[in-house]
A = this chain, B = another copy of it.
Amino acid sequence: MKLTISKRELNEAVQHVSKAISGKTTLQILTGIKLDVTSDQVTLTASDIDTTIQAFIPITAANGKEMVTVEEPGCVVLPAKFLVEIIKKLPKETVEIEVGEGFNTRIKSGRTDIELAGMDPQEYPAAPAVDDELTFRIAGSKLKELIRSTVFAVSTNEQSPILTGVLWNLDGARLKLLATDRHRLASTVAVIDAPEDMSFHNIVIAAKTLNELVKIISDQESVEISIGRNQVLFNVGAVHFYSRLLDGNYPDTTKIIPTNFKSELDVGTKAFGDALDRAYLLAREEKTNIVRLQAGEDGAVEITSASSGVGKVLEQLEAEKFTGDPLRISFNSKYMLDALKVIDSEQLHIGFTGTMSPIIIRPGDGKESLYLILPYRTSN
């Protein structure tokens, strides 16, 4: 294997695929990035088994610019940790890479001459296969918004692995994402450009994957998503992002979402969020982050928090509208603040069904997002 390649393109590809590398892998070969050079293109691959990222560099760019000169096709696996740092620091615009005896690799740029112990590409696991797949496209900005609106609510508890992912469902061109950690839930819907009769259910994608994915999607790009039996493939420009689907059945959450409320509260998102944020500063001194919310027919809203030995906070604001029974309920203020952070709407609509039933938060702008928080049972 011998080639000359644009430093800029190589660096971009290395940075993209390196996001799949896990610091915790026990397989030596997975600490490396695989370079595959053919007469058509250069392919870089990195993987932690669950997630695999591939980046492609064409020999000639769309604008006719030569990006790669291949003298001899071939394949090698190079240490990712070092590659990620060194490529961007090379002195010249082009890089020469040559693989010799025993995968010993020479990287040259200007007067920098590096020798790296390469690894045998035969040992590298095969790229994942996506079979029986359903394929649709979505705008990058819309996909990022869907992920951002839900992923914060996943469980971090590895005891319930299925809840560490986000649930995807497609029905009648409506793509719905949902996440829950049993204490709170976030869900959102986007209408996408897919055939009416295309559908899938119970597809669960790891939050870790989605968090890495949003980093490489630009708002302008459109993303092609292929959902197979065990794998999902996100096709983002010249990057292929594979992720193993999480095994298991996602719990049915439809029954826990109340549709009738005893009290309903409309408030300005900023006023409510700012007041809650101040109450949280004391609430967080107690590990439960508890605040108490009170509201009555006159529309006066009170938020209180207390930490023994430190003090208490009382916040007052006016509801834009309040209907139903007078309210007195306690909840984890951190969960509410997390939901408020991803709501862009200026108004909130909050529904209550009792001190032990879920609180439902919806943005006032008509978006189909829904946030649920379980109240906290307190003695008073």
Give the interface of A toward B (CB within 8 A): 79, 82, 85-86, 89-91, 105, 111-117, 274-275, 277-278, 281-282, 285, 309-317
Contact = CB atoms under 8 A, between A and B. Distances in A.
Given A274-B89, A281-B82, A281-B89, A111 B315 contact: yes
Contact of A282 (B82, B311, B313): B82
11 contacts: A79-B310, A82-B310, A90-B278, A111-B316, A112-B315, A113-B315, A115-B313, A116-B310, A117-B309, A117-B310, A117-B311
B274 A91 contact: yes
Contacts of A85: 281
B111 A311 contact: no
A113 B314 contact: yes
Given A82-B282, A281-B89, A282-B82, A275 B112 contact: yes
A79 to B, nearest CB: 6
Nearest to A305: B114
Contacts of A274: 89, 91
Contacts of A105: 311
Contacts of A111: 315-317
Contacts of A79: 310-311
A310 to B, nearest CB: 6
Nearest to A90: B278
A325 to B, nearest CB: 24
A115 B315 contact: no
A278 B114 CA distance: 10
Given A89-B278, A281-B82, A311 B116 contact: yes
B82 A114 contact: no
Nearest to A314: B113
